Structure formats: C-alpha cells, structure tokens
Amino acid sequence: MQLPFVVNLGKARSTLIKWWAQFPRELRLITKARLLVSIGTGGVLYLSPLVFNNIGLTATQIGCGVTTAAISGILSRIVTGIYLDKAINFSIPIKIAAILAIISDVLLIFSTDFVSYLIGQILLGLATGIYWPSVELAVPISSKNFSSRKGYALVKTFDALGVAIGVFIGSFSSFFINMRFIFIIDLVSMLAVLKIISNILFKDCITKYKINFKKDNISIKRNRIYKLFSELKIILILTIFVTSIISISQSSFPIDLAVGGINRPPLDTQKVGLILTIQMILLVIFQWPLGNWLRKKSFIFALNISIYNLMAGSFILIISNIISEGLLFVFIALIPISIGLAAFLPTASEVIIQSVNKNNRGVALSIYSQCFGISSLISPISTGILIDLTGTGLLIWVILFLISIFILPLVKYIKIA
C-alpha cells in the first residue's frame, strides 16, 4: 500500500508532465535553452558589480563597463534584426551569442583591472545584443498555432527561474568558494546551450517563415524604420523605463545596498546576494500565474498593473533609504517591483508582435530589444555617478518614482494593429 504522500507526489508529477506537454515541442526546447542561458547570466548580471566593487572599481567605473556593453549590444542588435528579417535560421545567432559569452567569461574570470573588465563587458554586450532578438522571435515561430502570448508567459517564467537559480548559486558560492564562480557557471551553461541548439530542428516553422519572407521581403529602407518607430513609440518609451529598472537592479541596486542609505546601514556581499536571490524568486513566483491571468485581459490593463506596481516599489525604496529600519522596506519593495516586471515583460513582447505585420517582426523585435541596450547605456553609469556623488541611491528611486507618474497616462494611447 502506497503512502498518501507518495500518491500525491505522483499525481503532482503527472499534472506537471501534462501541463508541460501542452506546449509545442519546439517551444519546450527553446524554453529549456532560455532557462540555461538565464542560469548562467543571472549571476553575471546581478553579482558581477559586487565582484568588481570588491577589487576596487568605483560605481562609476562599473557603470561605465555596463554602458560600454550596452553600446556593443546596440550595434549587434541592429545587425541581428536585419538578418532575422532576411529569414536566417535563428539558431545561428544564438550559437554565436553563446560563443561570445564563453570568451567573455574566460576574460572576466581572470580580470583584475578596469581594462580587462571593460573588454569582457564589450564581448558580453555583443552576445546579449545577438541573443535577445533571436530568442524573442523564436517564441512566436515555435508556438505555431499555440497562443504566442501564453508562450511568452512560459519563457519569461523560465527566464526568471533561471536568473533566480543563477543568483542563488552565485550568492551561495560567495560563502564557500569565490564569487567569480558565477563566470564558470555561465561558461558551462553556454556550452550546454550550444548542445541543445544544435539538436533543435525547426524545419517546419522556419520553412513556412522563410516562404513568407521570400514572397514579401524588400530591402530595409529608412521610411520603414521610421514607420515602425511611429507605430511602437509609446510601448518603446514604457520599455525603456521598465528596462532601466532591470538594468539598475543588475548594476546600481547591489551597490546601493552595499554602501547603505542615508540612515539604512550598509550590507555585506552575502546579504546583498540574498536580497537579489529573493527578488528573483519572487519574480519566478509571480511570472507564470500573473502572465497567464493577464493574457485574458487587455494589454492596457496589464501595462497599467505594471507601471502602478513599479511606482509603488520605487516609493517604498525611497522610504527604505531614509529610515534606520530601511532593510525591512527593501524586502517589502521587492514585491511590487517583481509584480510590475512580471506583468510587463510578456505583455510588451506580445504588443510588439501584434503591432506590426509578420515581415517586420525581426526589425520590430530588434528595435524593442534596443530599449534594453539604451537603458543599459544610460542607467548604470548615470546611477553609478549619483551614488558616487551622494553616497546613497536615494536620488535613483526619487527619479524613477517621478518618471513613473509622468509615463502612466501614455499607456491608454497604445493601439494594436
């Protein structure tokens, strides 16, 4: 006779298998690849500022490195978007991105000064710029007749899960090994991604996609780009704001916690890593149920939920900075910020897909992906300078709170083609 616990465990496993099986095979494979990439990059993006802060680089220098990565990422996003709209197999740029990331990891493992850190960041930026437009376009292609909005909710959930795992492993390694272990994790993850991508066959959906492009494909002209910008301008503005918060979470937020607030005491590296891990775990918890629920709602509703929560999170972080018990408010702020990000990321990707015709999706996603590059270009170095000048991150959250108030009315003007 089986124990009740064993029976319940078996039922849960069966339910999970059925849930996973509902998604097309190609979408499941690309989701696994994104999970591995997120595990690797999670620790690198969120914890590398602490690694290089510990060897004496200033917040401005760290921000400069992230900004340099953003510049190289912007260039690689443009080229990738053009090639994707010429119907190139999107597995090829993903492989190139993985190889560049591996080279970057090797450099950053042994980096001891600003120059080597900068070179590693440039390669990381190139890899990021090639990777994101490719995997974002892979979702609607691999979803086939399945809901692409639900597909985006799935992959964003696994993205968040991977980042949480990566940050947790990196934080754990800081206790027993060395925080640079995050680069080894990323290197191993990218090798695994190369193997998965090499085994993925999207022949049916890619062939169909290529036929459409061969029928309609024309050279990319200036007025086509201007038209896309005009159609997408509001969602792009919102995306720059939201991705700025993501970029700050990866660069200046850890330093803000490490140096302390006006009255909030500074935290050591291990505690900062713990907070970042909790933030990623919250994002994982909220991403799938929230994304799945919001797919039944209007885009306007979902985006309003996002901006309101990010506004609330910024305001709570302002409070956390000015009181001695501010650490409690940091933990509270993680909840609305995680909800805001979980609501925005799959919604914005789907808005881009639904706002343009199929032949423009590659360039549209490349433009959308540029928002990540632009926010990484501006936010880390500007917020790093603010921390160096004022000694705290208070002004960062004040500025973000005010921006959220100004951009909230723009949401109602978004229109889907």
Q: Is the pTM of this model over 0.85?
A: no
Q: Which of 250, 225, 233, 228 is closest to 371 using CA atoms?
A: 233
Does residue 358 carry a pLDDT above 80? no
pLDDT at 207: 45
**Chain segment 236-264, per-residue pLDDT in tens:** 899 999 989 988 887 888 889 988 889 99
The dihedral region occupied by 29, where left means phi > 0, alpha psi between -120 and 50, and beta the remainder, is: alpha
3-state secondary structure 123-178: HHHHHHHHHHHHHHHHHHHHHCCCCHHHHHHHHHHHHHHHHHHHHHHHHHHHHHCC
Other CB atoms closer than 10 Å to residue 54's CB: what's the count? 13
| Low-confidence winner among 83-87, 248-252, 395-399 (lowest mean pLDDT) | 83-87
| Contact between 63 and 384 (Cβ < 8 Å) | yes
CA pair distance 41, 37, nearest whole angstrom: 6
Q: Which of the 8 DSSP states describes residue 413?
A: G
Count the Cβ atoms, other than its own, within 10 Å of residue 71. Answer: 17
171: its two tokens: 């934080």
Nearest to 371, CA basis, from 234, 171, 221: 234
Amino acid 242: pLDDT: 92
Q: How many CB atoms lie within 10 A of CB 414?
A: 18
**Cα atoms in the 13 Å half-sphere on the side-chain side of 77:** 26
H/E run at residue 328: helix 326-355
pLDDT for residue 68 is more than 90: no
**Torsion sign, CA atoms 25, 30, 35, 36:** positive
Query: Of the ranges 232-241, 370-379, 403-412, which one carries the lowest mean pLDDT score?
Result: 370-379
Q: What is the pLDDT of residues 194-210, one digit of tens each?
A: 988 877 665 544 444 44
* CATH numbers and ranges of domains, the chain: 24-212+219-413 (1.20.1250.20)
